[in-house]
Amino acid sequence: MANQSRFTPGILKKARWHIQDNQVTPESVFKARRHIVKAMGLGAIGASVPGYVQAGLFDLFGEQPKTSFITTPLTFEANGRFGKDEVLTPVDKVTTHNNFYEFGTSKQDPSDNAQQFKVDPWQLRIEGEVERPMTLDYQDLTKLFPLEERIYRLRCVEAWSMVIPWVGFPLAALLKKVGVTSKGKYVAFETAFEPEQMPGQKSRLMGGGIHYPYVEGLTIAEAMNELTLMSVGLYGKTLPPQNGAPIRLVVPWKYGFKSIKSIVRIRVMDKQPPTSWNQLAPHEYGFYANVNPAVDHPRWSQASERRIGEGGLFSAKRIDTQPFNGYGEFVASLYEGMDLRQFY
Amino acid sequence: MFNITALRVTPKQLLWVKLVFHLIGLIPIAWLVFTVLSGRAGGDPVQHIIHFTGIGALNALAATLLISPLAKGLKLGWLMQTRRLVGLYVFAYATLHIVAFFSLDLLFAWELFFSEVAKRPYILVGALAYVIVTALALTSFKALMRKMGRRWQTLHNGVYIVAILAPIHFYWSVKSEIIEPSLYILGFSLLLAWRLPIWQKKRSSRIAMAAEGKR
């Protein structure tokens, strides 16, 4: 925290990725475009469109997603150690391309169906093999620990990837606060179970046949690793629900499904906890789920990935996947002596 | 073959029917283009496009296989003349499906494309189905049909193999959503079962009995 002096509480510093004013479409041009759209009789259709425009392809309804969920700016410190040279995935793509089966199995379902999700009040319970079990309220999530921003690569087992500036605090800070006992060997996480609010939990057809609530787990060493982040925001603002509001896990060297969203319970355990995708298809999804180009999923080669970046449909790039998603220097030691083909 | 007297359709009316079928085939593609361009399909619609065109091919295949039961059951002989048109939409959607996979997902990585086809059973099954569909589309001209004679029918019975492979490809390709693919497997099973000789025999004897009764 060497940069503490640059940090002014209550004021959001303009971050690197914030586009320059001269790159923003002038309001007059924007309105003229709306006028053209209306004149074409497309206004009514456009108004019902929740998503955003595939940038660079056809900038017809060029505007931010019409989300009714309000995200608010966060106060945080930029941690420049990670992802310095990465091109960020635009916020619109990060918030409209989500795997969050609680809100539907299609990529756009979560942004369509999660906007009414209530995140305040919220309670996150930390219990199990800890000395001081505690319950965090909504306010605590962003106030209890100093927040930092980290740019991490996100690699999905479906072989696409993004680069996302998360805001959050290390899970280790939380675990130190509650004091893990000597019996604590694993950490189990649980997503909220709210069938009234999460249609995927109500209907098997929408929820992809997962047994809800969604559960995930880490070893205590993985949980204490400095990379493991409890995220409360992205792109400088609080998380939208489709990205796991109000608080989610981010484990950047593992496939995306390990990074469980909308967490209500963290339980330190002496045994390895069950994990949702492993329960569903153990031969496809192991407990560890470390990004590994050498171990293919039965349906997706993991040797390369499609990086979702700026621009339109054909602007994505295919890049080689790195072991541990490129975070080997931080985490490879956790798996020394383990056969990663067996412990996939 | 079967009674086509129930409803007569003039060539001009048939043209209109075909036009409607073309619209039914084309509107979903227009809708897909609209949803993608307007952002309705999400920030990265690649998977959506691949899934949508794949389902489109399955639906067109189901429609193709539904034509002869409908034509026979409802005694609409003219309906048979729309079968090639509908069948070609199977080819069209399947082509879009594969082109989307190759261009949008794999980003024209040829090597990866071929290694994926060879390595992933679900892709291999889909690829086999597509080879057959392509063969059927290429031999769909009337002139070729006449030239090939009986071999044409033998080749075009390949559609039944496609009707087995395509829903398996779908079932195998999804992560955990098994209800939708199961419904397709069931639907195609019914469409194929209707064609089993045992059912055909029962039906024709019943029709014969009914015809005798009438006399």
- Nearest Cα to Cα of residue A103 among A203, A222, A250, A247: A203
Helix or strand or coil: residue A264?
strand
- Nearest Cα to Cα of residue B60 among B106, B26, B108, B17: B26
Instruction: Test B39 with A96 for CB contact under 8 angstroms.
Output: yes
Of the two residues A185 and A314, the one the predictor is more confident about is: A185
Instruction: Test B119 with A296 for CB contact under 8 angstroms.
Output: yes
| Residue B39 touches partner A, C-beta closer than 8 Å | yes
First to last CA, chain A: 35
> Which residues of chain A does B43 touch, with a Cβ-Cβ cutoff of 8 Å?
51-52, 54, 90, 92-97, 107-108, 308
> Could you tell me how many CB contacts below 8 A there are between chain A and chain B?
117
The reply to whether the predicted model has a pTM over 0.95 is no
| Alpha carbon separation from B215 to B3, B73, B204 (Å, rounded) | 16, 21, 17
- What tokens were used for B2? 């079967």
- Nearest Cα to Cα of residue B66 among B79, B53, B57: B79
Q: Which of B37, B109, B178 sits opposite A209 (nearest CB)?
A: B178
Question: Could you tell me the pLDDT band of residue B94, with boundaries at 50, 70 and 90?
Answer: very high
CA distance B136 to B88: 9
The percent of residues in chain B predicted with pLDDT above 70, rounded, is 92
| Residue A49 touches partner B, C-beta closer than 8 Å | yes
Average pLDDT over residues B78-86: 94
Question: Could you tell me the pLDDT band of residue A63, with boundaries at 50, 70 and 90?
Answer: very low
CA distance B69 to B66: 6
Output the CA torsion B35→B40→B46→B52 (10° steps): -50
Helix or strand or coil: residue B195?
coil
Pairing of strands A317-320, A304-307: antiparallel
CA distance A325 to A259: 14
CA distance B81 to B18: 9
Strands lying side by side in the sheet with A215-219: A134-137, A123-128, A263-269, A186-191, A215-219
Instruction: Test B176 with A308 for CB contact under 8 angstroms.
Output: no
| Residue A160 touches partner B, C-beta closer than 8 Å | yes
In this predicted structure, the answer to whether residue B137 has a pLDDT above a threshold of 60 is yes
The percent of residues in chain A predicted with pLDDT above 70, rounded, is 81
pLDDT, residue B210, reads 62
Instruction: Test A54 with B105 for CB contact under 8 angstroms.
Output: no
In this predicted structure, the answer to whether residue A66 has a pLDDT above a threshold of 60 is no
Number of C-beta neighbours around residue B187 at 10 A: 17
In this predicted structure, the answer to whether residue A52 has a pLDDT above a threshold of 50 is no
Mention every residue, 6+ apart, whose C-beta is less than 8 A from residue A99.
Answer: A107, A110, A156, A158, A256, A257
Of the two residues B215 and A280, the one the predictor is more confident about is: A280
- Write the pLDDT tens digit of every residue in B176-191: 888 899 999 999 999 9
Average pLDDT over residues B21-44: 93
Burial of A26 (0-12, 13-18, 19+ CB in 10 A): exposed
- What tokens were used for B59? 């639906």
The one-letter code for the residue type at A333 is S
| Residue A314 touches partner B, C-beta closer than 8 Å | yes
CA distance A2 to A269: 35
CA-based nearest distance A40→chain B, Å: 14
| Alpha carbon separation from B190 to B81, B88, B163, B175, B199 (Å, rounded) | 22, 22, 11, 25, 11
In the block, residue with structure tokens 């690569």: A153
| Residue A283 touches partner B, C-beta closer than 8 Å | no
CA distance B211 to B97: 46
In the block, residue with structure tokens 């920030």: B43
